[in-house]
Each structure stands twice: as structure tokens, then as C-alpha cells.
Amino acid sequence: MHFFDGTEYGADGALTLAARALELRAGATPRAALGKRLAAVFLNPSLRTRASMEAATTALGASPQIIQPGKDAWSLEVRKGVVMDGSASEHIADAVRVLGQYADILAVRAFPSLVDLEEDRAEPVLSAFMEHAGVPVINLESALYHPMQGLADTATWLDHLGPDLRGQPITLTWAPHPKALPASVPNQVLLSSALVGMDVTVAHPEGFELDPQLVARAEGLAAAGGGRVRITHDQAGAMKGARVVVAKSWSGFSGYGRREEEAAHRATLGGWTVDQALMDLSDQAGFMHCLPVRRNVVVSDAVLDGPNSWAFEEAGLRLWTAMALLEKMWGGAR
């Protein structure tokens, strides 16, 4: 089975993996996967995802291989049926067919263009991997999803809020940023929290809507799990009662085809920075961000370094959740 959007094992499976990650962090012995091989392909930069996947693979006694097309490997053509007379040296389908024979799991990071909505929704890189790998594929962040982040977030919620996350109030707030960013992380926060039945509030300025297809899916998951999803443009109001505040900047679904206009709008929204005064409106919420973060743009130093910041624990759990997932995918889990 592929791990594409983090819902593959259902709510119980996600919670079991998160609980296992907390056990591993507490010192449980990992179930070895000696002789197994993971190849991780990065089409975009990474610190946490790359380092945690590499460390988790090694900690299980398996071998990680990191490949960066266009840097230490041939640049890849992703479009189907094109005459390859441009800069790309190898078609993605061919590269993946080969890599799938060298590894037991392939993993890949591929950010969206933010230019063509239908192309981004189609996830051409992840789709090519899942079609041609012949082995399970792990999504290391794509146009729509970041399931490894979602698993670490779930483990963070479990650690702080206890085993039953149903009905726990969480607020995801849009935050300022100098650049247009993908919506994979906010999509994942929404999906992962809805999956486990949390009471999710999403706050964003007008014009920064998430993909309605994704929101509808999250609403369905939340309803099935005993939670709900609410969307608001009132950031301060969204803090009321929140036990968790997740900050992230993203580009708007409606911004496709009008990114310059969106950038001008974004430049007026500096008031959405998460600061202590905003956090004080919540129910002593823990602050989360996937990192990397622009300090004093997305979040103030005082909040990020404060006693209610869970952001660095969240990042640390990337290692343990990666180990828990690899244990399961390699057949070592209970």
C-alpha cells in the first residue's frame, strides 16, 4: 500500500502509528528491517523530511538512498508523450521503473507549480511513482498532501491531549509570508485532524480559500469521526476555546491565474502574524508549525520560543513517526 495522503490506515491506524512513535521516542526497541532499502527522491529542498527519513531508515537497520534529480542525478521529464528535446535527460516513468528494482520502498517529494490547478490536482510526479514503482511509495510532500507531517502532528496531539482526540478543538490559521506557498501542509492538517475526529476551525483571509474538494473531503472524515470543520475569516474569533493552534501560510485556491494580484493582497495581511496577544485568546493552546518558519512574519519569537510552543517537539516526532511507519510498511509492526 502507498502512503499518499495519510488516511490509508484509517483513524485507528493513524492513532496506532502515532502511539507507536511515542513508544519509540520513550525508548522502545525498534523492530529491525535488516537488509531493507529505501530510496528517497527529492525534487525540492528539505531539512526535516530528508534527515528524519534517512535517520529512521538507518535506525531500523535498513539502507537509505537520497537522490536529487537535476543535482546528483539526471533531470526528469514529467509530461507524458512529449518530444524530449529540452533540458530533461530522463523520463520519470523510466527512472521510477529502474529505482523500484533497487529499493523496497520509494519515497518522493514534489511541490506543485501553483500555476495550473488541474495539473497540481493530478499530482503528476506522485502519480508516476505510484504507477511505475512496483513497490510501495511514500509521499514526502506533494501538491496536495504532506502525510509524514500529518503523522508527526497526530503524535504531537496524542502526546498533549491524550488518546481520545475526538472533539478536541484545533485551529489552523493562515499566516503571512513573503512568497506564495503550496497548500499541502494546511490540507494535511485539516485532513489529519478531521480523520481523528477533532473539532477543526480554519481561519484565513478572504481570497486564501483551501481547495473546496479537499475541504469537502475533510468535512466527510470529520463527520464520520465525530468531529466537524468550520471555516472563518475571523482569526481572533477562531482562537476561542482552541487547545491547539497551527499556523501556516498558503496560497489561495482562487489565486490560480492571478498570483500577482494575490501577492499584492498578501502584502497587506501582516496583521495575521501569530503573536502572544492572539494566543492569549485561546484555551492555553499549544502552538504548532511544520517548520521551516519565518520568525516574526508567521509567528513571533515569543510564541515560537515560549512555554506553549510544541513546534520543536512536532519536528522531533518526524523521526519517531517515520520509524513507526517504516516498521509497519516493512512488516515489523505488531
Residues that bind ligand CP (CB under 6 A): 46-49, 141, 149, 290-292
Radius of gyration of the chain, Cα coordinates, nearest whole angstrom: 19
Nearer to ligand CP, 14 or 222 (CB): 14
80's CB contacts (< 8 A; 6+ apart) are: 93
We find the least distance from the C-beta atom of residue 44 to ligand CP, in angstroms, to be 8
Q: How far is the CB of 47 from ligand CP (least distance, A)?
A: 4
Contact 319, 55 (CB under 8 A): yes
Q: What's the grid cell of residue 33?
A: 528491517
Cβ closest to ligand CP, residue 6 vs residue 100: 6
Residue 206 C-alpha cell reads as 478572504
The crossing angle, in degrees rounded to 10, of helices 184-195 and 10-25 is: 100
Give residue number: closest CB to ligand CP.
49
Judged by CB, which is closer to ligand CP: 53, or 62? Answer: 53
- Count the Cβ atoms, other than its own, within 10 Å of residue 313: 16
Assess contact for 67 and 93: CB atoms under 8 A. Answer: no
Q: How far is the CB of 297 from ligand CP (least distance, A)?
A: 17
Contact criterion met (CB below 8 Å) for 108 and 126: yes
By the 8 A CB rule, do 173 and 272 touch? yes
Smallest gap from Cβ 146 to ligand CP, in A, equals 6
Whole-number Å distance between alpha carbons of 316 and 312: 6
Tell me how far, at minimum, the Cβ of 45 lies from ligand CP, in Å. Answer: 7
Please say which residue, 205 or 316, places its beta carbon nearer to ligand CP: 316
Of residues 149 and 249, the one with the C-beta less far from ligand CP:
149
Measure the CA–CA gap between 35 and 105, rounded to whole angstroms: 12
**Identity of residue 279:** M
CB of 148 to ligand CP, least distance (A): 7
Which amino acid is present at 174? W
Residue 252 CA: distances (Å) to CA of 40, 183, 220, 279: 29, 8, 22, 24
Minimum distance from residue 313 beta carbon to ligand CP (Å): 13
Question: Cβ closer to ligand CP: 212 or 292?
Answer: 292
- Decide whether 51 or 281 has the Cβ nearer to ligand CP: 51
User: Which of 197, 148, 67, 170 lies closest to 321, judged by CA?
Assistant: 148
Nearer to ligand CP, 91 or 157 (CB): 157
Helix (H) or strand (E) holding 191: helix 184-195
Q: How far is the CB of 312 from ligand CP (least distance, A)?
A: 12
